[in-house]
Amino acid sequence: MSDIDRADEHARQHPTRVALSRPPAAEVDAGADIVLKVKVSCARGCDLRGREVEVVAPDGAVAGRSPLTDFADNDNETTEFAFVAPDEVGEYSWTVVFLKDHGKDLVHEEGRLPITVRTLAHDTSLAVWSVPSPIVIEHPFRIQVGATCSAGCNLSGKEIQILDEAGASIAHATLGDTPWEGTRALYWTDVDLVAPGAEGSTSRSIAFAPTELRLPHGGASARFGFETVKPPQHWVAVKVVQKEVGTPVEDAQVRLGVYFAYSDAEGVAKVAMPPGTYSLDVLKTGFDAPSQVLDVCDDVTVEVELVVVPPENPDAHWLFDPTKSR
């Protein structure tokens, strides 16, 4: 019998129990941190601060460890700590272990708790923006496309594909090195395309299937659309003014069918369009204007008067107006 065994025989022995204050997520990205918080309680309510817990893999390797730092209500707790999940997708088990602790005349028994976590391929997702519309048939145009990984992995240099409505690849581009402003890890690129030769609504999709990354990543897709139109023949100038005072209104959105433009400092929005009959609408916060119909068969200038919409009376909600109740 070893000296330690003899000592055990004579020392008091307290059982311990291991539990989780904060269990790890059931699923995490492969290679990501697995975060947990552990508590250990002694059957006799001992303060075990300073001792450690370990997270042990089936092969005995220690994946993580943390000291017990808090003691309250007979529970000893670690702070939140993390260990790294395996790089491969799968289900993995570890054991959280409070090691047998030998003190003077007192032994705290080992405590164990199994945990299981599934690792997933990193989720990727896409954004596509600056899609112009309408676009003249067979004209070139540029869009911006970005991809991000749920774990923030560096995707620079990876390829994205643009597909037509039949799923055929019509363009590809490589993600740049710098994430898009305001994002953690949206790697992006410009993509140059050409509008189809027929008028109408066009839909395109984007496919992203990253390869050659250290960690497994899933693919992503997104869609975007635009209107294709005949080449313009005329200019339509819309002058937007405030009714009753006649002052120009800047930054009003002028819509003529599927055409958009914004009024400048002089209140003028210019749109190049093919001939046709269009619904003319003007949008500006705080203003209103009725829709009109405009026949375009030559260059034309039209004035639209916006009526100020008074700010909502906060108390008007409940003050009923007899003229509106019927």
**Binding to another protein by residue 286, rule CB under 8 A?**
yes
Angstrom distance (rounded) from CA 72 to CA 86? 34
Q: Which stretch binds another protein (CB under 8 A): 8-16, 84-92, 129-137, 236-244?
A: 129-137
* Cβ pair 286, 308 in contact under 8 A: yes
What is the distance between the alpha carbons of residues 33 and 38, in angstroms, rounded to a whole number?
16
Which residue number, 134 or 267, has a Cβ lying nearer to another protein? 134
In the complex, minimum distance from the CB of residue 200 to another protein, in angstroms, rounded to a whole number: 10
CB closer to another protein out of 110 and 295? 295
- The interface region with another protein, picked from 82-90, 231-239, 298-306, 311-319 by CB under 8 A, is 311-319
Q: Which residues face 201 on adjacent strands? A: 227
Which of 87, 102, 129, 292 touches another protein by CB under 8 A?
A: 129
**Residue 75 Cβ vs another protein, minimum distance, rounded to whole Å:** 25
- DSSP SS3 for 9: helix
185 within 8 A of 218, measured Cβ to Cβ: no
Q: Which of 155, 130, 131, 143 is nearest to 220 (CA)?
A: 155
Q: Is 199 one of the binding residues for another protein (CB under 8 A)? A: no
- Does 24 bind another protein (CB under 8 A)? Our answer is no
Q: What are the structure tokens assigned to 98, written together? A: 């409070």
Per-residue contact string for residues 90-109; x = within reach of another protein by CB under 8 A: --------------------
Cβ-Cβ contacts under 8 Å for 326 (sequence gap 6 or more): none
2 or 285: whose CB is closer to another protein? 285
Query: Would you count residue 131 as binding another protein (CB under 8 A)?
Result: yes
Binding-site member from 58, 60, 197, 314 for another protein (CB under 8 A): 314
Task: Reduce the secondary structure of 36-81 to three states and give it as a string.
Answer: EEEEEEECCCCCCCCCEEEEECCCCCEEEEEECCEEECCEEECCCE
Give the binding site for another protein (CB under 8 A): 123, 125-131, 133, 146-148, 150, 179-180, 182-186, 201, 203, 220, 222-227, 253, 255, 257-258, 279, 281, 283, 285-286, 313-322, 325-326
